[in-house]
């Protein structure tokens, strides 16, 4: 298929682009490089630098595309509470421009990066797709708005779309990994402690109602996430918007992850308990039953150790 990947110079978009190229698809990446890196665009993909608002229509009118995988977004919960307007513009206005360009150019399928943050604080875990959506920050709210936009676009204009609601994405795919200027994610931060770039790992709260008092999350390997995108691309049905949660279905606490980092790297990770981080739910674990049943998705690397090992290999290769 001829595919457009928005945000393909970022972490997840870059890994998915790599997988799509390996599967024989023809890929164009559109990215404004606001957080991505031009040298993260995998070899073999065409690259256009620009925002969705400025460039999506021009790119999609140049060739007949079979589908779009839409990753381009702002994705920091903390920043979204301080600068919500950035989230409404990039995530909502940008996605609207993309959908309009897709409609104008009769692009039939879309796979969208949605997020567990659309659910907010859950009443029950594991979280199923029919759970109430009550986002607790502008990031989650902006992604939920896009999901709603896509549903109406599918109903009114026949788009075939699938949203994947990611839980905690981790790991690396060979040369493609996490390279955020502002790093907030647990595994890369713990690896910075291992490589001596941070003195200690701060545990954001140890008084949550969980067995060890630290937050529990559902980690999914970025390669498994890429598999899900390929399955989704082949499963879209015109006029339908389906939503699938994407996690490994198991919960790991912050202390479990730190222990995995120690085990895999063989290095000590000194920790210190810090205050809770605002907006962190105690437990977020996905039910991925729906995507397993409907699309046959099975995570191939479900353990945190495998995710840490791949992220560590990526970090070491970068350091060299």
**Residue 115 near ligand UFG by CB under 6 A:** yes
Stretch that binds ligand UFG, among 8-16, 44-52, 180-188, 231-239 (CB under 6 A): 180-188
**Residue 197 near ligand UFG by CB under 6 A:** no
Q: Which is nearer to ligand UFG, 216 or 309 (CB)?
A: 216
Stretch that binds ligand UFG, among 1-9, 99-107, 109-117, 295-303 (CB under 6 A): 109-117
**Residue 277 near ligand UFG by CB under 6 A:** yes
Is 166 noted as a catalytic residue in this protein? no
Stretch that binds ligand UFG, among 49-57, 81-89, 114-122, 293-301 (CB under 6 A): 114-122
**Residue 295 near ligand UFG by CB under 6 A:** no
Query: Which of residues 34, 64, 184, 200 is near ligand UFG by CB under 6 A?
Result: 184
Q: Which is nearer to ligand UFG, 115 or 173 (CB)?
A: 115
Q: Closest separation between CB of residue 29 and ligand UFG, Å?
A: 21
CA 308 remoteness from chain centre: 17
Stretch that binds ligand UFG, among 21-29, 64-72, 115-123, 312-320 (CB under 6 A): 115-123
Query: Which of residues 90, 91, 168, 236 is near ligand UFG by CB under 6 A?
Result: 168
Question: Binding-site residue total for ligand UFG (CB under 6 A)?
Answer: 20
Q: Which is nearer to ligand UFG, 236 or 265 (CB)?
A: 265
Q: Closest separation between CB of residue 26 and ligand UFG, Å?
A: 29
> Phi and psi at residue 29, in whole multiples of 5°?
-100, 130
Other beta carbons within 10 Å of 307: 28
What DSSP string describes the chain? -EEEEETTTSHHHHHHHHHHHHTT-EEEEEE--SSS-GGGSPTTSEEEE--HHHHHHHHHHHS--SEEEE------HHHHHH-HHHHIIIIIIHHHHHHHHHHHTT--EEEEEEEGGGT-S-SSSSBPTTS----SSHHHHHHHHHHHHHHHHHHHH--EEEEEEE-EEE--BTTB----SS---HHHHHHHHHTTSSS-EEEE-S-SSSTTSS-EE-EEEHHHHHHHHHHHHHH--TT-EEEEEES-S--EEHHHHHHHHHHHH-----EEEEPPPTT--SEE-B--HHHHHHH----S--SHHHHHHHHHHHHHHHH-
The one catalytic residue in 11, 87, 139, 244 is 139
Q: Which is nearer to ligand UFG, 158 or 279 (CB)?
A: 279
Q: Which is nearer to ligand UFG, 156 or 273 (CB)?
A: 273
Query: Which of residues 72, 186, 269, 309 is near ligand UFG by CB under 6 A?
Result: 186
Which position's Cβ is nearest ligand UFG? Answer: 215
**Residue 311 near ligand UFG by CB under 6 A:** no
CA dihedral 58, 63, 66, 72 (to 10 degrees): -30
Contact set with ligand UFG (CB under 6 A): 75, 77, 115-117, 139, 168, 184-186, 189, 202-204, 215, 217, 254, 277, 280, 284
> Could you give the residue numbers annotated as active site?
139
């Amino acid at each position: 298929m001829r595919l457009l990947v928005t945000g393909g110079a970022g972490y997840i978009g870059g890994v998915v682009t790599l997988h799509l190229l390996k599967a024989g698809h023809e890929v164009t990446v559109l990215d404004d490089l606001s957080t991505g890196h031009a040298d993260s665009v995998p070899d073999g993909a065409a690259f256009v630098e620009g925002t969705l608002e400025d460039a999506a229509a021009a790119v999609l009118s140049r060739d007949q595309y079979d589908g779009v995988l839409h990753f381009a977004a702002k994705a920091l919960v903390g920043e979204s509470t301080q600068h919500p307007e950035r989230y409404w513009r990039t995530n909502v206005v940008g996605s609207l421009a993309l959908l309009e360009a897709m409609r104008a150019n009769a692009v039939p399928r879309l796979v969208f990066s949605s997020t567990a943050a659309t659910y907010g604080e859950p009443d029950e875990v594991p979280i199923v797709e029919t759970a109430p959506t009550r986002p607790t920050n502008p990031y989650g709210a902006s992604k939920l708005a896009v999901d709603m936009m896509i549903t109406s676009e599918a109903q009114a204009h026949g788009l075939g779309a699938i949203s994947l609601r990611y839980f905690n994405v981790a790991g690396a795919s060979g040369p493609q990994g996490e390279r955020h200027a502002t790093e907030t994610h647990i595994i890369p931060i713990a690896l910075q402690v291992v490589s001596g770039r941070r003195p200690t790992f701060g545990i954001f709260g140890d008084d949550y109602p969980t067995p060890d008092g630290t937050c529990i999350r559902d980690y999914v390997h970025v390669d498994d996430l890429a598999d899900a995108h390929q399955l989704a691309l082949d499963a879209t049905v015109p006029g339908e918007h389906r939503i699938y949660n994407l996690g490994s279905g198991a919960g790991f606490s912050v202390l479990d992850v730190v222990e995995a980092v120690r085990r895999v790297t063989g290095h000590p990770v000194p920790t210190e308990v810090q205050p809770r981080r605002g907006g962190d739910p105690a437990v977020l674990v996905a039910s991925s039953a729906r995507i397993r049943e409907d699309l046959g998705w099975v995570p191939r690397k479900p353990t945190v150790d495998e995710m840490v090992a791949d992220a560590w290999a990526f970090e070491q290769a970068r350091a060299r």
